[in-house]
Chain A
Amino acid sequence: MELEKFLGYFMSGLTRGSIYALIALGYTMVYGIIQLINFAHGEIYMIGAFVALIVAGVLTIYGFSGVSILVLAALVAMIYAAAYGYTLERIAYRPLRNAPRLSALISAIGMSLFLQNYVLLAQTPDFLRFPQLIPEFTFMRPISHIMGEAELVILVTSALSMIGLTLLINYTRVGKAMRATQQDMVMARLAGVDVDRVISTTFVIGSVLAAIGGVLVGSYIGQINFYIGFTAGIKAFTAAVLGGIGNIPGAALGGLVLGLAESLAAGYISSAYEDVFAFGVLVLILILRPSGLLGRAVKQKV
Chain B
Amino acid sequence: MVENIKRSLGVMVWFVFLSFPFLAVRVNTLKGEVEWRWLNLLWVAIAAFVLSLVWRWALARRNRGGRPGERAGDTPAVWHQRLFADPRIRRSSIGLIGVAALLFPVITDSYQINIMVLALIFVVLGLGLNITVGLAGLLDLGYVAFFAVGAYSYAILNTRFDLGFWVCLPIGGLIGMLFGVLLGFPILRLRGDYLAIVTLGFGSIAKIVAENWEGLTNGARGIAGIDRPGLFGLEMTISTATIYTYYLMIALVLLTIFTTNRLKDSRIGRAWIALREDEIACVAMGIDMARTKLSAYALGAFWAGLVGVVFAARNTYIHPNSFTFMESAIVLSIVVLGGMGSIIGVIIAALVLILMPEYLRAVAEYRMLVFGAVMVLMMIFRPEGLIANVRKSYRHSSPKAEAGHGR
Report which A residues bind B (CB closer than 8 A).
35-37, 50-51, 53-55, 57-58, 60-61, 76, 80, 83-84, 87, 91-92, 95-96, 99-107, 109-119, 121-124, 128-131, 230, 234, 237-238, 241, 272-273, 275-276, 279, 282-283, 286-287, 290, 300, 302
**Distance in Å: Cβ of B336 to nearest Cβ of chain A:** 6
Instruction: Pick the contact of B375: A110, A115, A230 (CB < 8 A).
Output: A110
Indicate if the CB atoms of B375 and A113 lie closer than 8 Å: yes
Not counting A35-B193, A109-B141, a sample of 14 additional A-B residue pairs whose C-beta atoms are within 8 angstroms of each other reads A37-B197, A60-B32, A61-B27, A95-B62, A110-B373, A111-B376, A114-B376, A116-B372, A123-B26, A234-B197, A273-B208, A279-B204, A282-B197, A286-B187
Does any Cβ of A come within 8 Å of B201's Cβ? yes
- Chain B interface, DSSP helix/strand/loop, else mixed: helix
Indicate if the CB atoms of B205 and A287 lie closer than 8 Å: no
**In the bound complex, how far is the Cα of B198 from the Cα of A282, in angstroms?**
8
Indicate if the CB atoms of B19 and A122 lie closer than 8 Å: yes
**In the bound complex, how far is the Cα of B372 from the Cα of A101, in angstroms?**
18
**In the bound complex, how far is the Cα of B32 from the Cα of A130, in angstroms?**
12
**In the bound complex, how far is the Cα of B141 from the Cα of A275, in angstroms?**
17
**In the bound complex, how far is the Cα of B379 from the Cα of A101, in angstroms?**
11
**Distance in Å: Cβ of A123 to nearest Cβ of chain B:** 6
Does any Cβ of A come within 8 Å of B166's Cβ? no
Neighbouring B residues of A50 by C-beta, 8 Å: 21-22
Residue of B nearest to A91 (CB): B376
Residue of A nearest to B211 (CB): A272
**Distance in Å: Cβ of B242 to nearest Cβ of chain A:** 31
21 pairs, CB–CB < 8 Å, chain A vs chain B: A37-B197, A54-B21, A54-B22, A55-B21, A57-B29, A60-B32, A87-B14, A92-B376, A96-B379, A99-B379, A109-B329, A110-B374, A113-B329, A113-B372, A122-B23, A129-B30, A234-B204, A273-B208, A282-B201, A283-B187, A283-B201
Indicate if the CB atoms of B383 and A110 lie closer than 8 Å: no
**In the bound complex, how far is the Cα of B139 from the Cα of A61, in angstroms?**
47
8 A Cβ contacts from B1-41 to A:
14, 17-19, 21-23, 25-30, 32-34
Indicate if the CB atoms of A58 and B197 lie closer than 8 Å: no
**In the bound complex, how far is the Cα of B374 from the Cα of A110, in angstroms?**
7
Indicate if the CB atoms of B369 and A121 lie closer than 8 Å: yes
**Distance in Å: Cβ of A34 to nearest Cβ of chain B:** 12
Q: Which 3 pairs, one residue from A and one from B, show the smallest C-beta to C-beta distance? A: A110-B375, A114-B372, A113-B372
8 A Cβ contacts from B83-124 to A:
none
Does any Cβ of A come within 8 Å of B401's Cβ? no
Sort chain B's interface into a size bin: 35 or more
Neighbouring B residues of A91 by C-beta, 8 Å: 376
Indicate if the CB atoms of A110 and B197 lie closer than 8 Å: no
**Distance in Å: Cβ of B11 to nearest Cβ of chain A:** 10
Known: A109-B332, A121-B369. A286 touches B32 (CB 8 A): no
**Distance in Å: Cβ of A58 to nearest Cβ of chain B:** 6
Neighbouring A residues of B374 by C-beta, 8 Å: 110
Neighbouring B residues of A118 by C-beta, 8 Å: 22, 369
**In the bound complex, how far is the Cα of B59 from the Cα of A122, in angstroms?**
28
Neighbouring B residues of A276 by C-beta, 8 Å: 205, 208-209
Does any Cβ of A come within 8 Å of B236's Cβ? no
Indicate if the CB atoms of B375 and A80 lie closer than 8 Å: no
Indicate if the CB atoms of B194 and A286 lie closer than 8 Å: yes
8 A Cβ contacts from B186-238 to A:
186-187, 189-190, 192-194, 196-198, 200-202, 204-205, 208-209, 211-212
**In the bound complex, how far is the Cα of B27 from the Cα of A129, in angstroms?**
11
Does any Cβ of A come within 8 Å of B251's Cβ? no
**In the bound complex, how far is the Cα of B348 from the Cα of A41, in angstroms?**
32
Residue of B nearest to A122 (CB): B22
Indicate if the CB atoms of B27 and A58 lie closer than 8 Å: yes
**In the bound complex, how far is the Cα of B194 from the Cα of A220, in angstroms?**
30
Residue of B nearest to A84 (CB): B18
**In the bound complex, how far is the Cα of B141 from the Cα of A234, in angstroms?**
12
Neighbouring A residues of B59 by C-beta, 8 Å: 95
Question: Looking at B189, B280, B368, which has the most chain A CB atoms within 10 Å of its CB?
Answer: B368
Neighbouring A residues of B366 by C-beta, 8 Å: 117, 121
**In the bound complex, how far is the Cα of B389 from the Cα of A7, in angstroms?**
58
**Distance in Å: Cβ of B101 to nearest Cβ of chain A:** 31
Instruction: Pick the contact of B137: A54, A102, A113, A237 (CB < 8 A).
Output: A102
Residue of A nearest to B330 (CB): A113
Indicate if the CB atoms of B325 and A110 lie closer than 8 Å: no
**Distance in Å: Cβ of A77 to nearest Cβ of chain B:** 9
Known: A61-B27, A110-B374, A114-B369. A230 touches B325 (CB 8 A): yes
Indicate if the CB atoms of B29 and A131 lie closer than 8 Å: yes
8 A Cβ contacts from B22-68 to A:
22-23, 25-30, 32-34, 59, 62
**In the bound complex, how far is the Cα of B59 from the Cα of A92, in angstroms?**
12
Neighbouring B residues of A103 by C-beta, 8 Å: 379, 383
Instruction: Pick the contact of B194: A112, A131, A241 (CB < 8 A).
Output: A241
Indicate if the CB atoms of A300 and B197 lie closer than 8 Å: no
